[in-house]
Amino acid sequence: MTRRIALAGTVAALAATVFLLGSALSPASEAEPAAPRASLRAEVTKQTFAGFSLGNTTRLIDDLQSRVRARPDDARSLTLLGLAYQQRARETGDTSFFPKSEGVLRRALALTPNDPLPISGLASLALARHRFLDALALGRRALRRDARAGRNWGIVGDSLLELGRYKEAFRAFDTMVRVEPDLPAYARISYARELLGRPAEAIEPMRAAVEASGFQQEPYAWSRVQLGKLFWSMGRLEAARREYRGALAAFPGYVHALDALAHVEAARGRLSRAIALERRAVETMPLPQFVAALGDFYSAAGRGQLARRQYQLIEALDRLLESNGVKTDLETALFNVDHGIRLGETLRRARLAQRDRPSIQADDVLAWALVRNGRCGEARGYSQRALRLGTKDALIFFHRGMVERCLGSDARARDWFKRALALNPHFSVRWAPVARRYAS
């Protein structure tokens, strides 16, 4: 599970609005009969992604804005506009679309308080903003109105996952795949198995997600990138590279594939190529995780000044996210701990993040922050919690090794470093070399 903590933390948030609510943006008229549920996979996929491909969202927004100007009380157009704003944020990384989405969705809900769709839209927005308690409450509210919509089960499961309530989350995902067996459901089942330390068993449902994409450009590319990341987490470098290149062949310039392929190139010792790929991703969509990776590649290549320039951008990007309602405590804490920035203040943020979203990722980041602040005994407890599901994550293993080293348990520390490297010898351009040094 070496997916780096990103702008949106859950697998669904990585997929974002298109995988949660894409079917709502079908251009079909309300007067047309709904397609039967549980139809052939190709038909489900067609409905799920209708009207939602990169390049037409701007036109869709323009059309919906015109409708809303002509009819300010058109609740359906308001709802679709709110979802389209979220999709545009997903496509561009521009979170200024989030407040716009919230505004029109709340107007739609005021007009149609019993419609589950604007509630689902507000829930997916809360997920994207890392406001997981809000997302859970809204998701459950949407479920009470429509328990047959897979997206509502997905929202609830994603929220529970980030709140560390794993058994409940997995039950929600199981229900989702029964109610609506499609790409979003298969992706969640895959992620659940990965969290439970069964990455090999996670491959089959992610391959099903690839198939369920119907070979539509972005859904197909996204699914292949996630499949590649599974291979990457198991140290299967060439298999990961094959998936990333397949994603780029289907969707040239796809930023998530560029970023992922950059890490493969760095692992192969081709730092110049890694830098070129990551720079393309940053120039297309300057997400904090892309900018941080580019800085780390520059640092590994001995280009310290260029690395520092990238790192300086992170704080500005975090402020922009926060101004649009995104909570970034966990992501900021991980970046700052990794780079030795304001460690005392960062420990405070890591504690806040862990209280807010007590997931295994938050436990791990807090353990790491405690280690870097010399609080080794306290760190061990959180490190143990981070491994409570049996998750096989090389970075969590590495952090556990650093906890044991901090406590003076050198033999135990070496065991954890060896486990991290055995799982994925290239898990981090910054920390894998440290693990190799301490494992010997």
| Prediction pTM value | 0.89
Query: Is the pLDDT reported for residue 400 higher than 70?
Result: yes
For residue 243, is it within any domain? no
Looking at residue 64, which CATH number applies to its domain?
1.25.40.10
Boundary (domain end) residue, out of 181, 208, 240? 181
Distance, in Å, from the CA atom of 188 to the CA atom of 14, rounded to the nearest integer, reads 11
* In 289-357, beta strands by DSSP E: none
Give the range among 45-59, 63-77, 128-142 with minimum mean pLDDT. Answer: 45-59
303 within 8 A of 311, measured Cβ to Cβ: no
Residue 293 covered by a domain: no
CB of 370 closer than 8 Å to CB of 376: yes
Question: Cβ of 147: how many Cβ atoms within 10 Å?
Answer: 12
**Please, are residues 98 and 86 in contact by the beta-carbon 8 Å criterion?**
yes
Q: Answer whether residue 112 is part of any domain.
A: yes
| 368 falls within a domain | yes
Residue with tokens 């809360």: 126
**DSSP run (H or E) holding 419:** helix 410-423
- Whether 268 is in a domain gets the answer no
Q: pLDDT tens-digit profile of 100-128?
A: 999 999 999 999 999 999 999 999 999 99
CA distance linking residue 17 with residue 136, whole number of Å: 16
Q: Domain range for residue 174?
A: 7-181
- What one-character DSSP code corresponds to residue 231? H
What is the DSSP secondary-structure string of 351-411? Answer: HHHHHHS-SHHHHHHHHHHHHHTT-HHHHHHHHHHHTTT----HHHHHHHHHHHHHTT-HH
Question: Hey, is 9 helix, strand or coil?
Answer: coil
Does 191 map to a domain?
no
Residue 241 is assigned to a structural domain of this protein: no
Which residue, 149, 181, 213, sits at the end of a domain? 181
For the chain, how many structural domains are there in total?
2
Q: What angle do CA 66, 127, 52 make, to 5 degrees?
A: 40
Q: What is the pLDDT of residue 6?
A: 54
| pLDDT single digits (tens) 220-272 | 999 999 999 999 999 999 999 999 999 999 999 999 999 999 999 999 999 99
Instruction: Check residue 7 and give its pLDDT.
Output: 45
Per-residue pLDDT reduced to its tens digit, 8-56 = 444 444 443 444 444 444 333 333 333 333 333 333 233 223 333 445 8
111 in a structural domain: yes
Domain boundary at 152, 181, 210, which?
181
User: Of 25 and 358, which is predicted with more confidence?
Assistant: 358
